[in-house]
């Protein structure tokens, strides 16, 4: 068991975790970043980011993440391809169990983000990786020349639908309501796209193709008249939002009803020395820039905490 005590451990390597790492490393705290199940977080699975200040032409999400990582590494941040199995935040220093080893840390920054939400259908689960996907940039290529369905009514679904037109012969966007959450600009792009068709008031009852071991279509229900129909497609991409990755802290810090970490004054959890930033605690804004901003705040609070408690 390692006896080293880290000044701070950062959980997660998305925008929030990396911004925290840049600030903590620059403050000479020698942070270690546990990269988690999805290194780079949601931005690593996206395409062009058009609204991150400082990039007038936009920047590819994975490139933005790589830049931030290099920036943190330049100041001495350490990166580890590991994820947290469990944590003991009652002890001081905190004990962070990575499975094969336990790290000890005086402070912890929880930047574990949020993961894709699924519909929860057994047929969906059975066909993940066989035409069911939550990552258009990862899997879109496999469906060149095919018809694809995208589920959701927010910006993620719009972005996926537009991106998938690069490969698909046709994209059908399916939303469960009449009204969309997506921003006006994204919605307009979707509606104007010749390859995209929009179906509203429709839910997916079943993903078809279990016997063939590949998606062959979707059984849809029209929620207005309850009629069912079959839409032949080769793939279904989910764009229905995300769930926060905070379950492992459920009995140690406060989570809200949907599992987001409850914070006060932006990044404080109820355990002194434990801070949360980015999508794991932000149900309202969920933007790359706000995640980075809260990562910065968490690192500044860590610095202050360590100063007050003697480094
Ligand atoms: P979101 O805004 O929460 O939208 C999720 C969508 O999925 C909603 O339309 C919701 O339907 C639908 N949905 C949820 N659960 C469902 C289910 N079980 N079955 C069917 N549909 C379901 O999430 P998001 O699109 O991931 O966006 C999250 C945030 O990131 C937003 O603030 C967004 O602006 C931002 N974002 C921005 C960009 C960009 O600017 N380029 C790109 C991606 C994301 P209801 O509407 O009926 O609830």
| Predicted confidence (pLDDT) per residue in 26-72, tens digit | 999 999 999 999 999 989 887 788 889 999 999 999 999 999 999 99
Q: What is the pTM of this model?
A: 0.82
Q: Is 279 in the pocket of ligand 1 (CB under 6 A)?
A: no
CA of 284 to the centre of ligand 1 (A): 12
Residue 209 half-sphere exposure, CB side, CA atoms within 13 Å? 23
Task: Give the helix ranges, DSSP H, for the chain.
Answer: 15-26, 61-74, 122-126, 136-139, 155-164, 184-192, 288-308
- Asked whether residue 301 carries a pLDDT value surpassing 80, the answer given is yes
**Residue pair 232/212 in contact by the 8 Å Cβ criterion:** no
Q: Is 153 in the pocket of ligand 1 (CB under 6 A)?
A: yes
CA of 175 to the centre of ligand 1 (A): 10
Averaged pLDDT for residues 303-307:
98
Q: Single out the catalytic residue among 15, 139, 282, 296.
A: 139
The token pair that represents 165 in the structure block? 């037109």
Domain boundaries, the chain: 5-115+242-308, 118-238
Q: What is the pLDDT of residue 65?
A: 98
**Which residues on adjacent β-strands are paired with residue 170?**
147
The token pair that represents 1 in the structure block? 């068991």
CB within 8 A of 136, min separation 6: which ones? Answer: 150, 159, 160, 163, 164, 237, 239
| 118-238 and 5-115+242-308 share a CATH fold | yes
Query: Residue 4: phi, psi to the nearest 5?
Result: -65, 140
Residue 112: which pLDDT band, with cuts at 50, 70 and 90? very high
| Distance in angstroms (rounded) separating the CA atoms of residues 185 and 76 | 40
CATH top class, domain 5-115+242-308: alpha beta
Architecture of domain 118-238: 3-Layer(bba) Sandwich (3.50)
Average pLDDT over the chain reads 95
Return the closest-CA partner of residue 165 out of 144, 184, 151.
Answer: 144
- Asked whether residue 311 carries a pLDDT value surpassing 70, the answer given is no
Averaged pLDDT for residues 150-171:
96
**Which residues on adjacent β-strands are paired with residue 228?**
221
């Amino acid at each position: 068991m390692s006896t080293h005590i880290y000044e701070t451990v950062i959980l997660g390597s998305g925008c929030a975790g990396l911004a925290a790492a840049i600030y903590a490393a620059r403050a000479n705290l020698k942070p270690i970043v546990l990269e988690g199940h999805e290194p780079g977080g949601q931005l690593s699975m996206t395409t062009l980011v058009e609204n991150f200040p400082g990039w007038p032409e936009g920047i590819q999400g994975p490139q933005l993440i790589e830049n931030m990582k290099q920036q943190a590494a330049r100041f001495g941040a350490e990166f580890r391809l590991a994820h947290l199995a469990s944590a003991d935040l009652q002890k001081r220093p905190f004990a962070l169990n990575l499975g094969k080893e336990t790290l000890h840390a005086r402070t912890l920054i929880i930047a574990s983000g949020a993961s894709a939400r699924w519909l929860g259908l057994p047929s969906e689960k059975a066909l993940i990786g066989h035409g069911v996907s939550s990552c258009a940039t990862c899997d879109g290529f496999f469906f060149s020349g095919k018809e694809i369905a995208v589920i959701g009514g927010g910006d993620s679904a719009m972005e996926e639908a537009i991106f998938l037109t690069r490969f698909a012969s046709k994209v059908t966007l399916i939303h469960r309501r009449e009204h969309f959450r997506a921003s006006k600009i994204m919605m307009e792009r979707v509606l104007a796209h010749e390859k995209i068709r929009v179906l509203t008031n429709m839910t997916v009852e079943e993903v078809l193709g279990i016997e063939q071991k590949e998606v062959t279509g979707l059984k849809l229900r029209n929620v207005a008249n309850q009629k069912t129909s079959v839409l032949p497609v080769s793939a279904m991409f989910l764009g229905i939002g995300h769930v926060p990755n905070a379950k492992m802290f459920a009995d140690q810090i406060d989570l809200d009803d949907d599992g987001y970490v409850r914070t006060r004054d932006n990044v404080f959890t109820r355990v002194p020395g434990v801070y949360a930033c980015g999508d794991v605690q932000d149900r309202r804004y969920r933007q790359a820039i706000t995640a980075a901003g809260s990562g910065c705040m968490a690192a500044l609070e860590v610095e202050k905490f360590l100063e007050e408690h003697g480094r």
